[in-house]
Amino acid sequence: MSRRTATRALGVALLVTATAGSLSAPAFAVDNTSPNGAVLSAMQRDFGLSAEQAKQRVRQETDAAQVAARASADASYAGSWIESGKPVVAVSDPARADAVRATGAEVRVVRGSRAQLDGAKAELDRRTSSSPAEVGSWYVDEPTNSVVVTVTKGKRSAATESFVAEAAKTGQNVRVEETEGVAVATSDLVGGNAIYMGGGTAGRCSAGFAAKTSSGEPRLVTAGHCSKPGPVVALGNLGIGEFVNTNWKDGNDFAAVAVNPLTWTVQPLVNQWDGNNVTVKGSEEAPLGGTVCKSGSTTQWTCGTIRARNVTVKYGQADGSTVVVRGLTQYTACVEQGDSGGSNISGDQAQGLTSGARLKDVNGKLRCYANAEPGMNSVSWFQPINEALKEYSLTLVTG
């Protein structure tokens, strides 16, 4: 196979360019009335929408993102989301309701501002090392104006209550949700056409987004827990490069690979696993409740909705220890092992890198909720791409 042929066949493993074809901003920043057909098809499949309903949802999410951007500057801002297709903004000061309503949003007056809720969550973050084993994650839930602490079903204990009480001392609403499954960082790997670490012997992950340094050197950004010593290769043992930056076990989950420019050309593309690609135009953040689709080498192209931001998650490790990652975005796309590091995109706007998911054991195989029990919403997380780009002083490659 010629280098050109190999590059085209394996492009998704390196460049997020996919020509062969994981773990809820304007949805389409260019022409939101005529978005990419494959994106619409995935939305119809995963959300049970008609073609016209999918297009309408795209328009609604674009409008909601713009409303949220205007409203978030208010000191009493308590969050924003989409409800019944309309943008909703919460404020903690009733006197600010009219001003926020003027941005075009429906207004909800609540007890705590987003800053106050973040303060309550920060109390839990400070106690991460002493958090009970049954506690899996915690985050701010804007629609309920509360901090949510997730606990393994049937395991809620006095230790749980003590942990929750620390955040409740701030005066904010803190509630406990019991969940099934375990939070798993998704690079426990088994073969597939993605990227392979350690020269092909240290597991499989998925490519994230293409970026460049200030001097123009190409980089591949992916998940930090995928980082292993030695060369990163694509299917067929075609060398990509080596990890030069890694953030993992430090509260983050992102990394960068220095790409060999003699072998690869980075492209602003994301594989849709149907022979088509999405061209990345930027990295504007999608609204809460907005659609995000993820591309990964295990579950391929799946879509979901954003449920929460700045989520703290405890990932269980094989040795019984845990690794805590903060600042994740929670969403409902199906993600399974091997999808780690894959690209998450809303329309043509890059959102983040697949980090992990809550998975259930089905006959010895860990599956996302949607695959384990049809009709269930999956629980997955991605690391926002803009944080990684800022940390490494990289510029996203766009088209």
- Assess contact for 28 and 57: CB atoms under 8 A: no
User: In terms of DSSP bridges, do strands 380-384 and 174-179 run parallel, antiparallel, or are they unpaired?
Assistant: unpaired
340, 343, 355, 378: which one is catalytic?
340
Could you tell me if 344 and 287 are in contact, meaning their C-beta atoms sit under 8 angstroms apart?
no
Say if CB 124 and CB 176 are below 8 A apart.
Answer: no
DSSP code of 239?
E
CB-CB contact of 286 with 65 (8 Å): yes
Residue located via tokens 């084993």: 133
Q: Among 46, 63, 141, 253, which one carries the catalytic annotation?
A: 253
- Compute CA 114 distance to the chain's CA centroid, rounded to the nearest angstrom: 20
Give the span between the Cα atoms of 201 and 36, in whole angstroms. Answer: 37
Distance CA 207, CA 256 (A): 10
Query: Is there a contact between 351 and 345 (Cβ–Cβ < 8 Å)?
Result: yes
Q: Which of 220, 266, 239 is nearest to 392 (CA)?
A: 220
Enter the tokens of residue 248.
Answer: 């993992």
Helix (H, G, I), strand (E, B) or coil at 348: coil
Identify the CA nearest to 355 among candidates 298, 320, 313: 313
Find the length of the chain.
399
Let me know if 225 is a catalytic residue.
Answer: yes
What is the distance of C-alpha 231 from the center of its chain? 26
Strands 135-141 and 106-109: unpaired
Angle, helices 37-47 vs 51-71, to 10°: value is 100
Task: Give the single-character DSSP code of 48.
Answer: T
Point out the catalytic residue in the list 225, 295, 348, 380. 225
What number of other Cβ atoms are within 10 A of residue 54's Cβ? 19
Whether 360 and 329 have beta carbons less than 8 Å apart is answered as no
| Cα–Cα distance, 192 to 205 (Å, whole number) | 9
261, 231 in Cβ contact below 8 A? Answer: no
Residues catalogued as catalytic: 225, 253, 340
